[in-house]
Structure 1
Amino acid sequence: MNRQRGFTLLEMLLGMTLIAIVSLSAWYLLAGMSRSQQMMLSQGGKLKAINRVFNILSDDFSHAVMRTRVKADATDLQVQTGDVSQVRLLRKQSRSAGVKLEQVEWYLQNNTLYRRSWLLAPGTQVINQQQLVGVSGFHLRFYQQGLWQPQLLSGDTLPQAVEITLAVNGLGEVQRLTLMGEQ
Protein backbone atom coordinates (compact mmCIF):
# COMPACT_ATOMS: atom_id res chain seq x y z
CA MET A 1 0.00 0.00 0.00
CA ASN A 2 1.23 3.46 -0.90
CA ARG A 3 1.12 6.04 1.78
CA GLN A 4 0.39 9.60 0.76
CA ARG A 5 2.76 12.31 1.74
CA GLY A 6 1.82 16.01 1.97
CA PHE A 7 -1.47 17.80 2.29
CA THR A 8 -4.66 17.28 0.37
CA LEU A 9 -6.25 20.09 -1.59
CA LEU A 10 -8.99 20.45 1.02
CA GLU A 11 -6.45 20.81 3.83
CA MET A 12 -4.55 23.45 1.85
CA LEU A 13 -7.73 25.46 1.17
CA LEU A 14 -8.75 25.27 4.82
CA GLY A 15 -5.29 26.47 5.94
CA MET A 16 -5.31 29.35 3.45
CA THR A 17 -8.81 30.37 4.59
CA LEU A 18 -7.72 30.44 8.24
CA ILE A 19 -4.64 32.53 7.38
CA ALA A 20 -6.81 34.93 5.36
CA ILE A 21 -9.28 35.33 8.25
CA VAL A 22 -6.50 35.99 10.77
CA SER A 23 -4.81 38.46 8.40
CA LEU A 24 -8.07 40.29 7.72
CA SER A 25 -8.82 40.52 11.44
CA ALA A 26 -5.35 41.94 12.11
CA TRP A 27 -5.78 44.47 9.29
CA TYR A 28 -9.16 45.65 10.70
CA LEU A 29 -7.62 45.94 14.17
CA LEU A 30 -4.71 48.04 12.91
CA ALA A 31 -6.99 50.23 10.78
CA GLY A 32 -9.25 50.82 13.79
CA MET A 33 -6.28 51.74 15.96
CA SER A 34 -5.09 54.17 13.30
CA ARG A 35 -8.54 55.83 13.10
CA SER A 36 -8.69 56.05 16.89
CA GLN A 37 -5.29 57.69 17.01
CA GLN A 38 -6.28 60.23 14.33
CA MET A 39 -9.50 61.03 16.22
CA MET A 40 -7.57 61.44 19.47
CA LEU A 41 -5.11 63.80 17.81
CA SER A 42 -7.88 65.92 16.30
CA GLN A 43 -9.86 66.00 19.56
CA GLY A 44 -6.63 66.61 21.48
CA GLY A 45 -6.08 69.78 19.46
CA LYS A 46 -9.62 70.91 20.24
CA LEU A 47 -9.16 70.12 23.93
CA LYS A 48 -5.91 72.12 23.99
CA ALA A 49 -7.71 75.10 22.44
CA ILE A 50 -10.54 74.83 24.99
CA ASN A 51 -8.04 74.60 27.84
CA ARG A 52 -6.20 77.67 26.52
CA VAL A 53 -9.48 79.64 26.40
CA PHE A 54 -10.39 78.57 29.95
CA ASN A 55 -6.94 79.64 31.16
CA ILE A 56 -7.36 83.10 29.61
CA LEU A 57 -10.90 83.42 31.02
CA SER A 58 -9.69 82.34 34.47
CA ASP A 59 -6.84 84.85 34.31
CA ASP A 60 -9.26 87.63 33.38
CA PHE A 61 -11.69 86.79 36.18
CA SER A 62 -8.98 86.29 38.80
CA HIS A 63 -7.57 89.77 38.04
CA ALA A 64 -11.00 91.46 37.99
CA VAL A 65 -11.37 94.62 40.07
CA MET A 66 -14.14 96.99 41.06
CA ARG A 67 -13.54 100.72 41.19
CA THR A 68 -15.18 103.13 43.56
CA ARG A 69 -17.72 104.93 41.41
CA VAL A 70 -19.17 108.39 41.56
CA LYS A 71 -22.18 107.34 39.47
CA ALA A 72 -24.34 104.73 41.17
CA ASP A 73 -25.53 103.10 37.93
CA ALA A 74 -22.07 102.32 36.50
CA THR A 75 -20.46 98.93 37.01
CA ASP A 76 -17.18 97.23 36.18
CA LEU A 77 -18.69 93.76 35.73
CA GLN A 78 -21.54 93.44 33.26
CA VAL A 79 -23.25 90.29 31.99
CA GLN A 80 -25.64 90.13 29.06
CA THR A 81 -27.48 87.06 27.78
CA GLY A 82 -29.74 86.53 24.80
CA ASP A 83 -28.76 86.18 21.16
CA VAL A 84 -25.26 87.37 22.02
CA SER A 85 -23.93 86.11 25.37
CA GLN A 86 -21.26 88.40 26.70
CA VAL A 87 -19.44 89.50 29.81
CA ARG A 88 -17.44 92.68 30.30
CA LEU A 89 -15.09 93.21 33.21
CA LEU A 90 -12.35 95.50 34.42
CA ARG A 91 -9.06 93.85 35.30
CA LYS A 92 -5.56 94.75 36.35
CA GLN A 93 -3.24 94.31 33.43
CA SER A 94 -0.38 92.11 34.58
CA ARG A 95 1.78 92.48 31.48
CA SER A 96 2.70 96.12 31.99
CA ALA A 97 5.30 97.68 34.27
CA GLY A 98 2.81 99.91 36.11
CA VAL A 99 -0.60 98.94 37.34
CA LYS A 100 -2.95 99.67 34.46
CA LEU A 101 -6.61 98.90 34.13
CA GLU A 102 -7.82 96.97 31.13
CA GLN A 103 -11.40 96.55 29.96
CA VAL A 104 -12.06 92.98 28.74
CA GLU A 105 -15.13 91.75 26.94
CA TRP A 106 -15.92 88.12 26.05
CA TYR A 107 -18.76 87.51 23.64
CA LEU A 108 -20.23 84.75 21.51
CA GLN A 109 -21.15 85.55 17.93
CA ASN A 110 -21.90 83.14 15.05
CA ASN A 111 -20.69 80.08 17.01
CA THR A 112 -17.35 81.77 17.70
CA LEU A 113 -16.08 83.01 21.08
CA TYR A 114 -14.25 86.34 20.93
CA ARG A 115 -12.18 88.36 23.41
CA ARG A 116 -11.96 92.13 23.02
CA SER A 117 -9.69 94.21 25.26
CA TRP A 118 -8.40 97.75 25.61
CA LEU A 119 -6.51 99.78 28.20
CA LEU A 120 -8.38 102.52 30.02
CA ALA A 121 -6.11 105.24 28.73
CA PRO A 122 -6.50 107.83 25.99
CA GLY A 123 -5.52 106.69 22.51
CA THR A 124 -5.35 102.97 23.23
CA GLN A 125 -6.15 100.44 20.56
CA VAL A 126 -8.95 97.87 20.86
CA ILE A 127 -7.68 94.32 20.39
CA ASN A 128 -10.34 91.92 19.11
CA GLN A 129 -9.30 88.25 19.01
CA GLN A 130 -11.14 85.15 17.86
CA GLN A 131 -10.60 82.60 20.64
CA LEU A 132 -12.57 79.45 19.81
CA VAL A 133 -14.68 78.33 16.84
CA GLY A 134 -17.55 75.84 17.21
CA VAL A 135 -19.04 77.20 20.44
CA SER A 136 -22.83 77.10 20.54
CA GLY A 137 -23.25 78.35 24.11
CA PHE A 138 -21.43 80.60 26.59
CA HIS A 139 -22.99 80.78 30.06
CA LEU A 140 -21.88 82.11 33.43
CA ARG A 141 -23.10 81.55 36.98
CA PHE A 142 -21.86 83.55 39.95
CA TYR A 143 -21.24 82.48 43.53
CA GLN A 144 -22.58 85.30 45.71
CA GLN A 145 -23.90 85.30 49.27
CA GLY A 146 -23.36 81.56 49.60
CA LEU A 147 -25.42 80.57 46.53
CA TRP A 148 -24.86 80.04 42.81
CA GLN A 149 -26.79 82.74 40.95
CA PRO A 150 -27.60 82.89 37.20
CA GLN A 151 -27.27 86.71 37.33
CA LEU A 152 -25.20 89.16 39.32
CA LEU A 153 -27.00 90.25 42.48
CA SER A 154 -25.34 93.66 42.64
CA GLY A 155 -23.05 95.67 40.43
CA ASP A 156 -20.93 97.14 43.22
CA THR A 157 -19.21 93.97 44.51
CA LEU A 158 -17.54 91.11 42.75
CA PRO A 159 -18.86 87.60 43.27
CA GLN A 160 -16.56 85.16 45.06
CA ALA A 161 -16.38 82.72 42.13
CA VAL A 162 -17.69 82.20 38.63
CA GLU A 163 -18.73 79.02 36.80
CA ILE A 164 -17.93 79.23 33.09
CA THR A 165 -19.79 76.84 30.77
CA LEU A 166 -18.99 76.47 27.08
CA ALA A 167 -21.17 74.33 24.81
CA VAL A 168 -18.65 73.07 22.25
CA ASN A 169 -19.80 71.37 19.06
CA GLY A 170 -18.76 67.71 19.10
CA LEU A 171 -17.85 67.68 22.81
CA GLY A 172 -20.92 68.94 24.65
CA GLU A 173 -20.77 71.23 27.67
CA VAL A 174 -17.42 71.94 29.29
CA GLN A 175 -17.27 73.76 32.65
CA ARG A 176 -14.63 75.46 34.73
CA LEU A 177 -14.87 77.11 38.14
CA THR A 178 -12.59 80.01 38.96
CA LEU A 179 -12.16 82.38 41.88
CA MET A 180 -12.74 86.06 41.27
CA GLY A 181 -10.28 88.88 41.86
CA GLU A 182 -10.12 91.21 44.85
CA GLN A 183 -12.91 90.76 47.36
Structure 2
Amino acid sequence: MTFIEVPMLPIVIPFGVVIFLVLLWILRSRGRVTIARASVAAVLAVYAGGVLANTVFPIFLRVGTGFYDGPRPLPLYLVPFADYGLEDALINVAVFVPLGMLVPLLIARPRWWKVLVIVAAASLAIELLQMAIARLASSGHLADINDWLTNILGGMIGYGLFLLLTRSTRIAGFVQQFRWPARERAGVDG
Protein backbone atom coordinates (compact mmCIF):
# COMPACT_ATOMS: atom_id res chain seq x y z
CA MET A 1 0.00 0.00 0.00
CA THR A 2 1.33 3.44 -0.95
CA PHE A 3 0.91 6.58 1.15
CA ILE A 4 1.37 10.24 0.33
CA GLU A 5 1.96 12.87 3.00
CA VAL A 6 -0.42 15.83 3.10
CA PRO A 7 1.76 18.96 3.06
CA MET A 8 1.49 20.88 6.30
CA LEU A 9 2.34 24.48 5.36
CA PRO A 10 -0.37 24.94 2.67
CA ILE A 11 -2.93 24.14 5.37
CA VAL A 12 -1.39 25.65 8.52
CA ILE A 13 -0.42 29.05 7.06
CA PRO A 14 -3.87 29.83 5.58
CA PHE A 15 -5.43 28.56 8.83
CA GLY A 16 -3.33 31.04 10.83
CA VAL A 17 -4.09 33.88 8.40
CA VAL A 18 -7.84 33.19 8.61
CA ILE A 19 -7.68 33.12 12.42
CA PHE A 20 -5.80 36.45 12.40
CA LEU A 21 -8.26 38.08 9.99
CA VAL A 22 -11.29 36.86 11.95
CA LEU A 23 -9.77 38.19 15.18
CA LEU A 24 -9.04 41.56 13.55
CA TRP A 25 -12.60 41.66 12.24
CA ILE A 26 -13.89 41.03 15.78
CA LEU A 27 -11.71 43.84 17.13
CA ARG A 28 -12.84 46.19 14.36
CA SER A 29 -16.52 45.37 14.91
CA ARG A 30 -16.07 46.32 18.57
CA GLY A 31 -14.16 49.49 17.71
CA ARG A 32 -11.21 48.20 19.76
CA VAL A 33 -8.37 47.96 17.18
CA THR A 34 -4.99 49.02 18.54
CA ILE A 35 -1.48 47.80 17.83
CA ALA A 36 -1.39 46.06 21.21
CA ARG A 37 -4.67 44.20 20.65
CA ALA A 38 -3.75 43.35 17.05
CA SER A 39 -0.51 41.87 18.40
CA VAL A 40 -2.58 39.60 20.67
CA ALA A 41 -4.52 38.51 17.57
CA ALA A 42 -1.24 37.80 15.77
CA VAL A 43 0.16 35.81 18.70
CA LEU A 44 -3.06 33.81 18.98
CA ALA A 45 -3.08 33.09 15.22
CA VAL A 46 0.56 31.92 15.24
CA TYR A 47 -0.13 29.88 18.38
CA ALA A 48 -3.20 28.23 16.78
CA GLY A 49 -1.23 27.42 13.62
CA GLY A 50 1.63 25.95 15.66
CA VAL A 51 -0.73 23.83 17.74
CA LEU A 52 -2.46 22.58 14.58
CA ALA A 53 0.89 21.75 12.97
CA ASN A 54 2.14 19.84 15.99
CA THR A 55 -1.02 18.02 17.03
CA VAL A 56 -2.54 16.97 13.72
CA PHE A 57 0.33 16.53 11.27
CA PRO A 58 1.76 14.43 9.71
CA ILE A 59 -1.27 13.16 7.82
CA PHE A 60 -0.87 10.36 5.29
CA LEU A 61 -3.40 9.41 2.62
CA ARG A 62 -3.49 5.96 1.10
CA VAL A 63 -3.04 6.22 -2.66
CA GLY A 64 -5.77 4.52 -4.64
CA THR A 65 -8.14 3.92 -1.73
CA GLY A 66 -9.05 7.49 -0.81
CA PHE A 67 -9.86 8.39 2.76
CA TYR A 68 -11.58 5.23 3.99
CA ASP A 69 -10.63 1.67 3.16
CA GLY A 70 -12.67 -0.37 5.62
CA PRO A 71 -13.16 -0.86 9.33
CA ARG A 72 -10.37 0.06 11.71
CA PRO A 73 -10.29 0.38 15.49
CA LEU A 74 -11.42 3.73 16.85
CA PRO A 75 -8.29 5.86 17.50
CA LEU A 76 -9.33 6.74 21.02
CA TYR A 77 -7.56 6.15 24.34
CA LEU A 78 -9.82 6.55 27.37
CA VAL A 79 -7.77 5.02 30.18
CA PRO A 80 -6.44 7.90 32.29
CA PHE A 81 -2.83 7.86 33.51
CA ALA A 82 -2.01 4.38 32.17
CA ASP A 83 1.00 4.11 29.87
CA TYR A 84 1.38 7.88 29.84
CA GLY A 85 4.92 9.16 30.07
CA LEU A 86 6.11 12.13 32.07
CA GLU A 87 7.63 13.72 28.96
CA ASP A 88 4.29 13.57 27.11
CA ALA A 89 2.53 15.03 30.15
CA LEU A 90 5.00 17.91 30.48
CA ILE A 91 4.80 18.71 26.76
CA ASN A 92 1.00 18.76 26.85
CA VAL A 93 1.01 20.99 29.92
CA ALA A 94 3.55 23.37 28.36
CA VAL A 95 1.66 23.63 25.06
CA PHE A 96 -1.47 24.95 26.79
CA VAL A 97 0.16 27.38 29.25
CA PRO A 98 0.11 30.17 26.59
CA LEU A 99 -3.60 29.64 25.95
CA GLY A 100 -4.31 30.03 29.66
CA MET A 101 -2.47 33.34 29.55
CA LEU A 102 -4.12 34.57 26.34
CA VAL A 103 -7.76 33.78 27.17
CA PRO A 104 -8.00 36.41 29.97
CA LEU A 105 -6.96 39.04 27.44
CA LEU A 106 -9.89 38.14 25.20
CA ILE A 107 -12.87 37.81 27.53
CA ALA A 108 -14.71 40.23 29.78
CA ARG A 109 -14.33 39.56 33.48
CA PRO A 110 -12.16 36.45 33.19
CA ARG A 111 -12.82 33.88 35.87
CA TRP A 112 -11.17 30.53 36.44
CA TRP A 113 -14.24 28.60 35.28
CA LYS A 114 -14.51 30.60 32.03
CA VAL A 115 -10.86 29.90 31.25
CA LEU A 116 -11.37 26.25 32.19
CA VAL A 117 -14.32 25.89 29.80
CA ILE A 118 -12.48 27.57 26.91
CA VAL A 119 -9.26 25.58 27.45
CA ALA A 120 -11.17 22.29 27.83
CA ALA A 121 -13.20 22.98 24.68
CA ALA A 122 -10.08 23.87 22.66
CA SER A 123 -8.30 20.71 23.81
CA LEU A 124 -11.39 18.58 23.12
CA ALA A 125 -11.60 20.03 19.60
CA ILE A 126 -7.98 19.00 19.00
CA GLU A 127 -8.57 15.49 20.34
CA LEU A 128 -11.70 15.05 18.19
CA LEU A 129 -9.84 16.33 15.13
CA GLN A 130 -7.01 13.88 15.82
CA MET A 131 -9.54 11.06 16.12
CA ALA A 132 -11.31 12.03 12.89
CA ILE A 133 -8.07 12.32 10.91
CA ALA A 134 -6.72 9.04 12.27
CA ARG A 135 -10.03 7.42 11.35
CA LEU A 136 -10.30 8.89 7.85
CA ALA A 137 -6.64 8.93 6.86
CA SER A 138 -3.50 7.82 8.62
CA SER A 139 -1.83 9.82 11.33
CA GLY A 140 0.58 9.32 14.18
CA HIS A 141 -1.91 10.89 16.60
CA LEU A 142 -4.89 9.52 18.46
CA ALA A 143 -7.41 11.04 20.81
CA ASP A 144 -6.19 10.55 24.37
CA ILE A 145 -7.93 11.46 27.64
CA ASN A 146 -4.47 12.03 29.15
CA ASP A 147 -3.65 14.70 26.57
CA TRP A 148 -6.98 16.38 27.26
CA LEU A 149 -6.43 16.39 31.03
CA THR A 150 -2.83 17.64 30.84
CA ASN A 151 -3.80 20.33 28.31
CA ILE A 152 -6.41 21.58 30.78
CA LEU A 153 -3.82 21.56 33.56
CA GLY A 154 -1.47 23.59 31.36
CA GLY A 155 -4.18 26.12 30.55
CA MET A 156 -5.04 26.55 34.21
CA ILE A 157 -1.35 26.96 35.11
CA GLY A 158 -1.17 29.66 32.42
CA TYR A 159 -4.20 31.39 33.92
CA GLY A 160 -2.63 31.16 37.37
CA LEU A 161 0.56 32.76 36.02
CA PHE A 162 -1.53 35.51 34.41
CA LEU A 163 -3.21 36.22 37.76
CA LEU A 164 0.10 36.17 39.59
CA LEU A 165 1.74 38.57 37.12
CA THR A 166 -1.17 40.99 37.08
CA ARG A 167 -1.19 41.32 40.89
CA SER A 168 1.41 44.01 40.37
CA THR A 169 -0.37 47.26 39.50
CA ARG A 170 2.45 48.22 37.17
CA ILE A 171 2.20 44.98 35.18
CA ALA A 172 -1.62 45.04 35.33
CA GLY A 173 -1.59 48.54 33.85
CA PHE A 174 0.68 47.41 31.05
CA VAL A 175 -1.40 44.28 30.38
CA GLN A 176 -4.61 46.34 30.29
CA GLN A 177 -3.68 47.83 26.91
CA PHE A 178 -3.65 44.30 25.43
CA ARG A 179 -7.08 43.32 26.80
CA TRP A 180 -9.87 43.22 24.27
CA PRO A 181 -12.93 44.04 26.33
CA ALA A 182 -12.90 47.34 28.12
CA ARG A 183 -12.99 47.21 31.88
CA GLU A 184 -16.34 48.22 33.26
CA ARG A 185 -16.29 51.32 35.46
CA ALA A 186 -19.44 52.25 37.31
CA GLY A 187 -21.54 50.40 34.73
CA VAL A 188 -19.92 52.24 31.81
CA ASP A 189 -17.73 50.49 29.25
CA GLY A 190 -14.51 52.48 29.39
- Computing the radius of gyration from Cα coordinates, the structure with the larger value is 1
Please tell me the TM-score bracket, short chain as reference: under 0.3
Q: Normalized per residue, which structure has more helix?
A: 2
Provide the TM-score with structure 1 as the length reference: 0.26
Which has a greater percent of strand?
Answer: 1
